[in-house]
Amino acid sequence: MLNRVVILLLLGLPLGQAAERTGAAVTVHPLATKAAMNAFERGGNAVDAAVAAALTLGVVDGFNSGIGGGCFMLIHKPNGRFAAIDGRETAPAAASRDMYLRDGKANPELSRTGALAIGVPGALAAYDLAIRQHGNLPLAEHLGRAATIAEQGFALDHSYLHRLGQVVEKLGKFPGSARIFLDVDGNAWPSGHRLKQPDLARSYRSIALHSVDWFYRGPFALKTEQWMSANGGLITRKDLLSYKAKRREPVRTTYRGHEIVGFPPPSSGGVHVAQILNILEVFDLPSMAPDSAEFVHLVTEAMRLAFADRAHWLGDADFAPVPRGLAAKKYARRLAKNIDPAKAARIDAHSTPPNAVTDLFGKHTTHFSAADTDGWWVACTATVNTTFGSGVVIPGTGIVM
């Protein structure tokens, strides 16, 4: 029988961890890990723990993630089945192919900073769906506890200050952001500053009281539409009202007798981790020392081949066909022939997997995991895309977009 491995990934390495009688959780921040463990203590399962961590990370790690962004959540159930919840942001209905063009030329900054860089947020819808279908505790309870942390504040650590220092100019462009994350002179807060976020706390408590409708249908949607209209943005209340978190079918492969399960596109994690492992399965890795030059070289080359494909083929499967053959064993064996054990290969372009449609135009996240003794496992990657997202906080909400 195959052993089963859930890919607890996409683009973040968790640092803090804790374990209790009923479960374990791993996050990037001790307060988020503590929130997850508190959820277990109150009778929650791993889904509750993950959502508690997610909402807390939106407070203490808001430069990486929050309810103004998106997420991918992979859930293993006690019956052995999986649920993959896609809560990534979507483009507003008014988005167009030339929205980032100015005078006929692409302006990349428009896609990174300001109103046009904001997608319709999906993380909150995903957390709500996960709790309603799989959790033991109400979403309002998790929101309330995270709101308390936002009200009481927390001391900014080196990691937070480092990231904040990188985007002072970006945050300074938007009053709603500057009043929270910068001092009165427009500088980053100093080491040891206790950051309090009363607006975010009120938003969390409003959602707890009125459900996610407050966010997707009510006051937040209205404030967002008004701000967008005044600042050249595209998102409307109808965009928020129309948002739905999606259920997707996980990506599956095997590696040396283990079943690997990961999140499907539009996430790159599942399909390309599967692709990398399929390539590496061609080689006799077990005979190599993990820290040997030979081992590192093969893993690096496999990753380079997969990332070349990622850049060309990966996208939103709802709008562009992502080849299923990317995770095929036969395709991996073909790619493996490009690897020279003695030197780095020159990879000038992507490869073409089976049944691919070829007529197509050709860091800043956090990951957290939770598991309990009943067999619930959760792997979630959440993001606001770049450090502090677009730089925008809709005034009065405290929510980084």
The whole-model pTM stands at 0.78
Catalytic-residue membership of 90: no
The pLDDT value given to residue 324: 59
Give the integer Cα–Cα distance in Å for 7 and 48.
19
**Tokens representing 225?**
């539409």
pLDDT score at 20: 44
Question: Does residue 155 sit in helix, strand or coil?
Answer: strand
Query: How high is the pLDDT of residue 363?
Result: 54
Which residues does 366 contact at the CB level (< 8 Å), separation at least 6?
12, 27, 28, 57, 61, 64, 65, 381, 382, 383
Beta-carbon contacts of 119 under 8 Å, excluding residues fewer than 6 positions away, are 70, 88, 89, 90, 91, 92
Q: Which helix (H) or strand (E) holds 382?
A: strand 377-383
- Check if the beta carbon of residue 5 is closer than 8 Å to that of residue 263: no
What DSSP state is assigned to residue 80? Answer: S
390's tokens: 């677009």
> Which residues lie closer than 8 Å to 139 by C-beta, 6 or more apart?
51, 127, 128, 131, 132, 207, 208, 211, 212
Which pLDDT belongs to residue 14?
39
Print pLDDT tens along the chain (401 aa).
445 444 443 333 333 444 444 899 999 999 999 999 999 999 999 999 999 999 999 999 999 999 999 999 999 999 999 999 999 999 999 999 999 999 989 999 999 999 999 999 999 999 999 999 999 999 999 999 999 999 999 999 999 999 999 999 999 999 999 999 999 999 999 998 999 999 999 999 999 999 999 999 999 999 999 999 999 999 999 999 999 999 988 877 778 888 777 776 666 666 668 778 878 877 888 888 999 888 888 888 888 887 776 655 555 555 555 555 566 667 767 777 777 776 666 655 444 444 443 333 335 689 999 999 999 999 999 999 999 999 999 999 999 99
Count how many residues are written for the chain: 401
- What integer pLDDT is reported at residue 357 of this predicted model? 39
Phi, psi (5° rounding) for residue 239? -60, -45
**388 Cβ partners below 8 Å, 6+ apart?**
62, 63, 163, 164, 167, 170, 171, 177, 181, 400
Q: Which of 253, 365, 366, 383 is catalytic?
A: 365
Domain 269-313+321-359 in CATH 1.10.246.130: yes
Contact indicator for 379, 166 with CB cutoff of 8 Å: no
Short-list 123, 103, 100, 95, CA closest to 113 = 100
Cis geometry, peptide bond prior to residue 78 (ω within 30 degrees of 0): no
User: Do 224 and 234 form a contact (C-beta atoms < 8 A)?
Assistant: no
Q: What is the per-residue pLDDT for 5? A: 47
Q: Which residues of the chain are in CATH 1.10.246.130 domains?
A: 269-313+321-359
